[in-house]
Chain A
Amino acid sequence: MSAALDILSWFCLVAGGAFCAIGALGLVRMPDFYTRMHAASITDTVGAGLMLLGMMLQAGFTLVTVKLVMIGLLLLFASPTATHALAKAALARGLKPLLAAGDDPSKP
């Protein structure tokens, strides 16, 4: 394997790990449930995606890459569904989100 590809995949792995850790840090730092979900979605999308990309670059064109792509697709479709279900259930249960002061930017 060429050195450039190696360096690129290492970069992806380290950056992915860093984003996972940042997302988890946000999970601890954020003040209420709804803002914590935003932090968790960093781990689910960018962190996981970059790590999988780094491993794909190491594996090359093999069955291993196909399985990594499947894991990526599973995350891409399933993680927003779970997040949405969680947020909807929390709101339905009456958990009030912490909102900033100011006018409502909604548009009916």
Chain B
Amino acid sequence: MLQLASLGIVLYAFWILLSGYFEPFLLGAGAGSALVVVLLARRMKIVDREGHPIQMIAAVVLYWPWLFKEIAKCAWEVSRIILDPRLPISPVLVRFKPSQKSQVGLATHANSITLTPGTITVEAAHNEFLVHGLTRASGAGVIDSEMDRRVTRVEGYR
């Protein structure tokens, strides 16, 4: 119920911010559209703790600055590899077991790995991630990483 209300509010805010007009007709149409989407989402049963994880918002917002710092660091390294005339790559495929339990935690972890340049999650399952790394160091860096611990902390936050 809390999730449905939150979804409706987010959708209505999205409508208002996109339109930028404040006429009664457009405000009403926005409310109607948001309501229809919320009802459809409820009918599809995709709004629950996994599909609309409002319990994670505070922890995720705290996690983002660290993720951005990590992305900047890795992007700098990969840029140097691309601009290097010798192209010093040593691609590896790495398998490892992530420590998250819920689907939303696993998705956050997999997306974080893919967002970081130099590593891409190729397969993400409950007990095993398959990660492609651009260099041996970046591939080995995802196993039992700090990212893993931080995402688990975000997931466990209540």
Contacts and interface: CB of A to CB of B under 8 A. Distances in A.
A97 interface: yes
Contacts of A84: 110-111, 114, 120-122, 124
A72 B97 CA distance: 30
A83 B82 contact: no
Interface string A66-82: 11001000001101110
B75 A63 contact: no
A52 B124 CA distance: 30
Nearest to B130: A91
B18 A67 contact: yes
Q: What is the predominant secondary structure among interface residues of chain A facing chain B?
A: helix
Interface string A27-46: 00111101101110110011
Contacts of A105: 92, 94, 136, 139-140, 143
A91 B91 contact: no
Q: What is the predominant secondary structure among interface residues of chain B facing chain A?
A: mixed
Nearest to B123: A88
B117 A38 contact: yes
A1 B130 CA distance: 48
A87 interface: yes
Nearest to A98: B91
Contacts of A32: 91
B71 A45 contact: yes
B95 interface: yes
A106 B94 contact: yes
Interface string B120-158: 111110000010101010011001100000000000000
Interface residues of B, number: 44
B11 interface: no
A63 B114 contact: no
Given A97-B93, A106-B95, A106-B143, 6 more contacts: A19-B79, A26-B82, A35-B91, A41-B115, A46-B72, A102-B90
Interface of A: 19, 22-23, 25-26, 29-32, 34-35, 37-39, 41-42, 45-46, 49, 63, 66-67, 70, 76-77, 79-81, 83-84, 87-88, 91, 97-100, 102, 104-108
24 contacts: A19-B79, A25-B82, A25-B83, A35-B89, A37-B120, A38-B118, A38-B119, A39-B78, A41-B114, A41-B115, A42-B117, A45-B117, A46-B75, A67-B17, A79-B115, A80-B115, A84-B114, A87-B120, A100-B89, A100-B136, A102-B90, A104-B94, A106-B93, A108-B95
**The 9 A-B residue pairs with the shortest CB-CB distance in the complex, in nearest-first order:** A100-B90, A80-B114, A26-B82, A46-B75, A106-B95, A80-B111, A105-B140, A38-B134, A87-B122
